[in-house]
Amino acid sequence: MVIKNLLRNQNWSPIIQALLSLILSFFLLMGSSFFSQSAQIIWNLSLAPLLLFGFLNPLCFVFFSTSKKYIPLSFLVFFILISINFTIGSQITDNFKGNYNENMLVYQLLVLFFFLIYIIAGLFKGIVYILENN
């Protein structure tokens, strides 16, 4: 019920979604750094909020967005989120240099995922627009 009411709210700007992701990322990174000794687990958990943003943002674009500023703002916020997450993750983990190539590959795949999801969402929004206007 709560999720249904939250999704009906049409004021889900990319900045609000990013703040939600940052708060979730902070709690996951702090919790995983206290309970886990493995740096790779910390890196993997730090990607969960970025995936949440990667799914939530295109969905909000399809169903709620009417502004042309939504897409550039979304990509800007996404890249800021990645840089913040990468910086915080590298500060928390001690053996950052050993996992650098693997972590960079995962972040590159995450960016590719975000672009592909946005392309699919744009196609879906275009199809819905065509069907509604015919």
For the stretch 61-100, pLDDT in tens is 887 777 788 888 999 999 999 888 888 777 776 655 556 6
Residue 4 inside a domain? The answer is no
The pLDDT tens digits of the residues spanning 99-116 come to: 667 777 888 898 999 999
21-52 pLDDT, tens per residue?
Answer: 888 888 877 777 777 667 677 777 778 888 88
Tokens 């995936």 locate to 51
pLDDT in the model for residue 97? 57
Domain for residue 67, yes or no? yes
| DSSP of 58-91 | HHHHHHT---TTHHHHHHHHHHHHHHHHHHHHHH
Residue 119 pLDDT class (50, 70, 90 cuts): very high
Calpha distance 90→27 (Å, rounded): 16
| pLDDT of res. 11 | 65
Going by C-alpha positions, the residue among 60, 91, 88 that lies closest to residue 74 is: 60
**Count of structural domains, the chain:** 1
Residue 6 lies in a domain: no
Please check whether residue 32 lies inside any domain of the structure. yes
Structure tokens at 110: 């995450």
Give residue 10's pLDDT. 56
pLDDT at 54 > cutoff 70: yes
- Tell me, yes or no, whether 3 lies in a domain: no
* Cα–Cα distances in angstroms (integers) from residue 69 to residues 92, 102, 127, in the given order: 34, 34, 20
Domain interval for residue 83: 13-133
Q: For helices 39-46 and 70-92, what crossing angle results, to 10°? A: 170
Within a domain: 5 = no
**Position 37 in a domain:** yes
The predicted model scores a pTM of 0.79
Judged against a pLDDT cut of 80, whether residue 18 lies above it is answered with yes
User: How many CB atoms sit inside 10 A of residue 18's CB?
Assistant: 22
1 in a structural domain: no
